[in-house]
Amino acid sequence: MKTRHLFLCGALLLLCATACRHENNNATPPQENEEAVVRPDFSADSAYAFVAAQCAFGPRVPNTEAHRRCGAYLRQTLERFCDTVYVQEYSVRTYNNLTLKACNLIGCFNPQAEKRILVAAHWDSRPYADHDPDPALHRTPIDGANDGGSGVGVLLETARQLSLKRPETGVDILFFDAEDYGSPQDEEGSTDDWCLGSQYWAKHPHVTAYKARFGILLDMVGGQNAVFCKEGTSAFYAQDIQNRIWNYAARLGHAAHFSPKETPAIIDDHLYINQITSIPVIDIIEYHAGTGSGFNPNWHTVNDRLENIDRASLQRVGEVVLYTLYNE
């Protein structure tokens, strides 16, 4: 009798402990090394649709009709979501002495806020598929679904989300023009032939004495199963920011796609902002081991098309960007 009573008590205690543990899991934050992460809303389908909309204009090569029409579309779309939109029109000279009519677009949230973060991508597409396996295509313009389109797609969806759930900080979304008009493989050129729009912006910001705490550049963020490594130019100018953002990625469960591997320094829009302004900027850009360039295998080929965009890659990058904007 006494034994059975004790056994019953034990069983009840065990039951209660189990029940309590379950309740505890639901009601209180996870303990120790687990952290409560609020995953920001980001729709990969919406980001993908923004990439598709750009590609539908055709290659957005400066001085073409497709480029003009896409520029108008991007401006309108930013105006739907942002508090203020700046249109910065200017001319630049290319490596082969063409004058491009170019246009940077800047969409701002909380324009009065002192504390600001900038996020950027280039919106033009390359006039030359000069890395295509077929030499006959080396002067063919590319769709730039990934190279150009993906970063802009993620940032338009970011703008849409910020309009639904507003950030506390100021946020400036910069779309640079004329990034990809660098001299082709088989022609003489210099490194400064690239990134003409960001070079212009860094020398002539859209507001005088413009300041931001830091910046994030997105470039080629839509490749299949894209892995983002710690790129050298970003590490040189903005290592602490790079580490913080990679930590956020890990918190969100994206450690496998935000690798701690350090990869060679590259020339991209962030280089000029780092060199010319005092704003530290990092680049989130796919690193692909096994291509000589370190870029996606479709880079500067006619295969840089919508069908090769991976929604899951857009999703990961979008979550990391939004998480940073909401938590910094």
- Do 219 and 266 contact (CB within 8 A), yes or no? no
Nearer to ligand AHN, 122 or 316 (CB): 122
Given 147, 172, 268, 304, the residue binding Zn ion (CB under 5 A): 147
283 contacts ligand AHN (rule: CB under 6 A): no
Candidate segments 77-85, 234-242, 250-258, 260-268, binder of ligand AHN by CB under 6 A: 260-268
Q: State which of positions 167-206 bind Zn ion (CB under 5 A).
A: 180
Residue 158 CA to residue 154 CA, distance in Å, equals 6
Site map 207..246 versus ligand AHN, x via CB under 6 A: ------------x---------------------------
Those residues whose C-beta lies under 8 Å from the C-beta of residue 258, and which sit 6 or more positions away, are 227, 228, 245, 246, 249, 250, 316, 320
**Residue 277: other Cβ atoms inside 10 A:** 18
**Residue 259: other Cβ atoms inside 10 A:** 15
Which among 226, 239, 219 has a CA at the least distance from the CA of 284? 219
Report the nearest approach of ligand AHN to the CB of residue 266 (Å). 6
Candidate segments 102-110, 162-170, 221-229, 265-273, binder of ligand AHN by CB under 6 A: 265-273
Candidate segments 91-99, 106-114, 261-269, 315-323, binder of ligand AHN by CB under 6 A: 261-269
Given 124, 130, 132, 147, the residue binding ligand AHN (CB under 6 A): 147
3-state secondary structure of 228: strand
Helix residue ranges per DSSP H, the chain: 2-27, 44-56, 65-81, 151-164, 196-203, 232-251, 269-276, 311-327
Return the one option of ligand AHN, Zn ion, none that residue 267 interacts with (CB less than 5 to 8 A, by type). ligand AHN
Return the one option of Zn ion, ligand AHN, none that residue 266 interacts with (CB less than 5 to 8 A, by type). ligand AHN
Q: If you compute the radius of gyration of the chain from its CA atoms, what whole number of angstroms results?
A: 23
Return the one option of Zn ion, ligand AHN, none that residue 272 interacts with (CB less than 5 to 8 A, by type). none
User: Interface residues with ligand AHN (CB under 6 A)?
Assistant: 147, 180, 182, 191, 194, 219, 266-268
